Structure 1
Amino acid sequence: MAPIRGGNKKRKTDEKDEHNTVLSGSSMESSVDWFMMVSKKIAGHSVTERLSTFEYIFGMSRRTFKYICSLVEEHMTGNFTFSSGMLMSVDDQVAVALRRLGSGQSLISIGESLGAHHSTISQVTWRFVEAIEETGLHHIRWPSTEQEMEPLKSKFEKIHGLPNCCGVIDMTHITMTLPSSQQRADVWRDHMNNHSMLLQAIVDPNFRFIDVFAGMPGKMNEMEMLQNSNFYSLCEKGKRLNGTTLTISEDTELREYIIGKEAYPLLPWLIRPYHEITPTLSEQEAKFNDKINKAHAIAKIALRNLKERWKLIQGPMWRPDKNRLPRSILVCCILHNILIDMEGDMMMNNMSFSGEHDPGYDFTVCESIDHSASVLRNKLAKYLHGKLHY
């Protein structure tokens, strides 16, 4: 008897379906094997056991993953399916979205590894971004009371010797690949001749983001980006950095402030280093610069680790939706803070403290100097120098 055509084909199809649905079919609560299965599916079978663990692949503990699922579970209710037709659970959808944001791989590559169509990967990721934006925003907020701000100021003073400092500010480029034929593509071209979108971040001493602003074209410099932000408007109106002042001399009250590099204007609430055009800095000014630069490194480290952890925004991004991209950047910042809040010392131990968040980019010195801020900086430098030699 001739073999029945399709018999072996059916068996292979069943095997393929089983492979493609290894993520789904049960929630974490009902299956202790879920984490192991999703890890093996993404890592494959040609890597070491360490490299195939859930914690290594997703860069977080199972506890943190469960917390993120709890944030979005009411919003991840779409009937998304794997290629086999099996429904994705909330856990599956979160795993898909985190893989997309964390790996930076193409939709097609992720779809092939997880057994889902690339359009499904895209839809699930965007649904996740919307959900985190709505339910996780409390992980990024400016301290609203003196009781909330005081621990940050105390830590800046304890570690860096800077009294009444509330944060450090920096800016980074999210590079993009845009077709030259795209309308107004040159608007996004920066001074390195890349297409990019900017992210401005203010960072606390724990490497957490406490204010972020994204979406402006890469052609802007640091001062222009700052002046377009809501943070600048609030500070100029006296609604931010308006807490307790500190007496540093008989005639000087030091208000709350943040620290920036020389690319930022010198303002009463934004202190930057002295600019060394020629080697004429006094010992007092040089010591002051050293303190400011060491403190400012906090922002550089935070932005570098943000990009290394969430590789989707590491760039260059292939023809992104520029209307949606700022929201994806925000969600990556929220996830950065969630990891610090949930993982604690483990997150700190895994941070990278070397390298650049904007390799190849430099900045020009901002010439905008507020006279009263210049006087204040001189008195702060004198105050710190006096404490150093006390």
Structure 2
Amino acid sequence: MFQMKRKTFYRSVSMLRPHIVRQETNMHWAIQPDKRVVVAIMKLASPSSLQNFANQFGMSACTAGWATQEVSHLLKEITLNKIIHLANPQQVIDGFNTKGVPNCVGALDSTHIPVPYPVGRGRAFTNRKGYASMTLQAVVDPRGWFINTYTGWVSSMHNVHMFRNSPLPCLMEKGHYAPNVEETVIHNVTIPLVILADAAYPLKPWLMKPYEGNVTNLQKPVFNTGLNSFRMGVECAFGQMKGRWRMLTRCLKMEQENIIAFVVAGCMLYNICESYGEVCMES
């Protein structure tokens, strides 16, 4: 039900405990930190209603919803830079290098998270597939762990427009994304740090995409096929995250700021589970 073992769950609770401990009063007993965290995790893992979770833990649906929002925002605000970040750029580069891509610091792609149609703004949130959603942009390492995320944009906006307005281009162009990492020279050719992307993204010195238009027999089957296979890691990460946290495939009936926190919390808990070798359980 929780998509993680007891040990992993309590490690997650320990990160948040200092921020969610509440003082008991004469009016009511405080809800314990582990109970609040478990409600948020169950909400991510299952499409069941909050009322079902509330009944299991002896609280009202309103309290369960409030606990879910609190834990999601805390995960986003307090532990984001500890869980989703480029901790060891050289390790990421070495990982992609073993796959045949030199000086690569990640693979980039986007996915849709279903949301309700906002009143008066339904068209703005409707994506090309015909339903309302919010876009999640992410970069993953060779293991498929999230190392950079950006979300909150309506899905009627093209992924490229969202990409250009995200912090990632500025970080890469100013050398702040992977500082203190030197360029690689191969056969007298200097290879800068690069991120892999699909054909929808713009070509930049640091953003590698497939060849388009009339391509040679060497460019299409060798380069394009190879690059697309390396990019499969980010698509697999999206699929596994949504398989683990099934609520991210359902319509999230929350305020927009809560949806953003909920999605980022899903990415972070996915990284935590992967780091401890948790296997996604089908339910």
TM-score computed with the length of structure 2 as normaliser: 0.90
Please tell me whether the aligned partners of residues 241 and 257 of structure 1 are also in contact (alpha carbons under 8 angstroms).
Answer: no
Q: Which residue of 1 aligns with 2:83?
A: 139
1:337 aligns with 2:275: no
1:208 aligns with 2:145: yes
How many Å separate the matches in 2 of 1:241 and 1:227?
A: 19
How many Å separate the matches in 2 of 1:271 and 1:351?
A: 35
Unmatched segments (≥5 aa) in structure 2: none
Write out per-residue CA displacement over residues 193-215 of structure 1, whole angstroms, 9 at most, x where no aligned residue. Answer: 21111100000011111110000
1:93 aligns with 2:36: yes
Q: CA deviation at 1:311?
A: 2.0
Matched residues, number: 277
How many Å separate the matches in 2 of 1:150 and 1:218?
A: 34
**What does residue range 184-223 of structure 1 map to in structure 2 within 5 Å?**
184-223=121-160
Unmatched segments (≥5 aa) in structure 1: 1-56, 353-390
How many Å separate the matches in 1 of 2:220 and 2:154?
A: 35
Write out per-residue CA displacement over residues 100-127 of structure 1, whole angstroms, 9 at most, x where no aligned residue. Answer: 1221322223223443211011011112
- Correspondence for 2:182 among 244, 249, 252: 244
- Correspondence for 2:255 among 318, 321, 327: 321
SS at structure 2 position matched to 1:324: helix
Structure 1 pair 228/351, CA: closer, same or farther in 2 (3 Å)? Answer: farther
**What does residue range 1-390 of structure 1 map to in structure 2 within 5 Å?**
57-78=1-22, 88-137=31-80, 138-143=82-87, 148-158=88-98, 160-178=99-117, 182-240=119-177, 243-250=181-188, 252-275=189-212, 277=213, 280-318=215-253, 320-341=254-275, 343-344=276-277, 346-347=278-279, 350=280
How many Å separate the matches in 1 of 2:48 and 2:237?
A: 22
Q: Write the letter of the residue equivalent to 2:267.
A: C
How many Å separate the matches in 1 of 2:77 and 2:161?
A: 28
SS at structure 2 position matched to 1:266: coil
Q: Write the letter of the residue equivalent to 2:111.
A: T
Write out per-residue CA displacement over residues 308-328 of structure 1, whole angstroms, 9 at most, x where no aligned residue. Answer: 11222222223x201221111
Where has structure 1 moved over 6 Å in runs of 4 or more? none
How many Å separate the matches in 1 of 2:222 and 2:110?
A: 25
Q: Write the letter of the residue equivalent to 1:177.
A: P
Q: Write the letter of the residue equivalent to 2:69.
A: W
- RMSD over aligned CA atoms reads 2.2
Q: CA deviation at 1:185?
A: 2.9
How many Å separate the matches in 1 of 2:111 and 2:105?
A: 20
How many Å separate the matches in 2 of 1:283 and 1:94?
A: 52
Q: Write the letter of the residue equivalent to 1:291.
A: G
Q: CA deviation at 1:288?
A: 1.1
Q: CA deviation at 1:183?
A: 3.0
Which protein shows a greater Rg?
Answer: 1
Write out per-residue CA displacement over residues 146-205 of structure 1, whole angstroms, 9 at most, x where no aligned residue. Answer: xx21111111111x21111110000001111226xx132322122222111110000001
Q: Write the letter of the residue equivalent to 2:95.
A: K
How many Å separate the matches in 1 of 2:94 and 2:85?
A: 19
SS at structure 2 position matched to 1:323: helix
Q: CA deviation at 1:88?
A: 3.1
TM-score computed with the length of structure 1 as normaliser: 0.66
SS at structure 2 position matched to 1:96: helix
How many Å separate the matches in 1 of 2:281 and 2:100?
A: 23
Please tell me whether the aligned partners of residues 126 and 133 of structure 2 are also in contact (alpha carbons under 8 angstroms).
Answer: yes
Deviates more, 1:332-341 or 1:201-210: 332-341
Please tell me whether the aligned partners of residues 117 and 125 of structure 2 are also in contact (alpha carbons under 8 angstroms).
Answer: no
Q: Write the letter of the residue equivalent to 1:119.
A: C
SS at structure 2 position matched to 1:178: coil
SS at structure 2 position matched to 1:205: coil
Please tell me whether the aligned partners of residues 197 and 215 of structure 1 are also in contact (alpha carbons under 8 angstroms).
Answer: yes
Kindly, what percent of the aligned residue pairs are identical?
A: 28
Structure 1 pair 206/324, CA: closer, same or farther in 2 (3 Å)? Answer: same
Structure 1 pair 351/172, CA: closer, same or farther in 2 (3 Å)? Answer: farther
Please tell me whether the aligned partners of residues 104 and 196 of structure 2 are also in contact (alpha carbons under 8 angstroms).
Answer: yes
Write out per-residue CA displacement over residues 45-104 of structure 1, whole angstroms, 9 at most, x where no aligned residue. Answer: xxxxxxxxxxxx211111111101111112223479xxxx87532222221111112213
How many Å separate the matches in 2 of 1:292 and 1:120?
A: 47
Q: Which residue of 2 aligns with 1:375?
A: none
Structure with the greater relative contact order (CA < 8 A, sep ≥ 6): 1 or 2?
2
